[in-house]
Amino acid sequence: MSEMLLEIRNATKVYKTRGKGKQEVVALQDFNLSIPKNPASIVTIAGESGSGKTTLAQLILGFTRLSSGQIIFDGQDISTADAAQIKDYRRQVQAVFQDPFGVYNPFYRVDHVFDLVINNFKLGGNAADRRDLMERSLNVVGLRGEDVLRKYPHQLSGGQRQRIMMARAYMINPKMIVADEPVSMVDASLRASILDVMIRLKEERGISFLYITHDLSTAYQIGDQIYILYQGTIAEKGNTIKVIDKPCHPYVQLLVESVPVPDPDVKWDGEINLPPEEEMRSSVHSGCRFYPRCKFHMDRCLQSQPPLYQIGTDDHEASCYLYAEEQMAPANQA
């Protein structure tokens, strides 16, 4: 068994909202994921709005705590890590968010943002070393120092800003970057250049990505593995191309159908018309969460949540009783 960079075991996050009735929202339920150390890979987490993607990112980044389960990075459970291990973890796992520069003061120039990082992670030597590190990091994402370092965020395009955020993350020399909807605010024509930066950081620098998106077409362009979430649970997972080319879960079939058909003359702009998501979620819920919207639903779907069933012979799996029979078949024939 190859060594794991990130392992998430039975991760569950329940938000308790205050007020009358004290409602509980299960944002993530019994979620499992593993990313091997080698080779570096891009793992996509896809799903419509509210499916739990950002919750997963926030849990991994330590911004919020698990209700139950474990997150293990490089063999260390992050909930029991000591201060030195946490410090190291904060370097190894970097984040890129939807809104580039959203966390920075708009009056900071790009070089100041980089200075903050260099000071925080004690990266620089003298001024020339620092400048060299900034230049090299910008070159990795296809930018030139003299073009951007003295600029303010509003003087740059969304695509440039997001590439600067990738350069900032790269500068820290992480093993993994958690990218939560990094291209959804970027002009469609510039998205490919950012996806390309991610592929290059993976292939040339050995950085793995957790790529979070509501958009299957960008996942298709970059992803190695994909996990498709529906209301906080995995509907389907596996090799990205296989899952999108041959979706098995009725929900994922709907999602894929709603992606425009690839036509060489029409550029995918990546926007999907998702089916409406109205059902309220609560922690008291048995059976498949997709039941009310599923055209194949059966009585047993109400009894308990379907486990992930293997499709074919590889790691393609779907959480749907339609595939339970396939597994039973060989035994029945014997």
Residues near Mg ion (CB under 5 A): 53-54
Nearer to ligand ADP, 145 or 232 (CB): 232
Query: Number of residues in contact with ligand ADP, rule: CB under 6 A?
Result: 12
Residue 192 contacts residue 221 (beta carbons within 8 Å): yes
| Beta strand 68-73 pairing with 76-77 | antiparallel
Residue 249 interacts, among ligand ADP, Mg ion, none and using kind-specific CB cut-offs from 5 to 8 Å, with none
Q: Note whether 289 binds ligand ADP by CB under 6 A.
A: no
Which amino acid would we find at residue 192? Answer: A
Number of CB atoms found within 10 A of residue 188's CB:
13
Choose, by CB under 6 A, the member of 8, 44, 46, 54 that binds ligand ADP. Answer: 54
Query: Residue 54 or residue 137: which is nearer to Mg ion going by CB?
Result: 54
> Taking CB under 6 A as the rule, does residue 55 contact ligand ADP?
yes
Both tokens of residue 119? 């000071």
How far is Cα 140 from Cα 259, in angstroms, rounded to an integer?
A: 32
Q: Is 233 in the site for ligand ADP (CB under 6 A)?
A: no
Question: From the CB of residue 71, how many other CB atoms can be counted at a distance below 10 Å?
Answer: 20
Closest residue by beta carbon to Mg ion? 54
The answer to whether residue 160 forms part of the interface with ligand ADP (CB under 6 A) is no
**Three-class DSSP category at 272:** coil
Of 172-231, which residues contact ligand ADP (CB under 6 A)?
none
- d(Cα 134, Cα 327) in Å, to the nearest integer? 54
Q: How far is CA 235 from the centre of its chain?
A: 15
Sites for ligand ADP among residues 24-53 (CB under 6 A): 25, 27, 47, 49-53
Q: In sequence order, which residues have a C-beta less than 8 Å from that of residue 126 and are 6 or more positions away? A: none
Provide, rounded to whole angstroms, the least separation between the CB of residue 136 and ligand ADP.
33
User: Where does this chain bind ligand ADP (CB under 6 A)?
Assistant: 15, 17, 25, 27, 47, 49-55
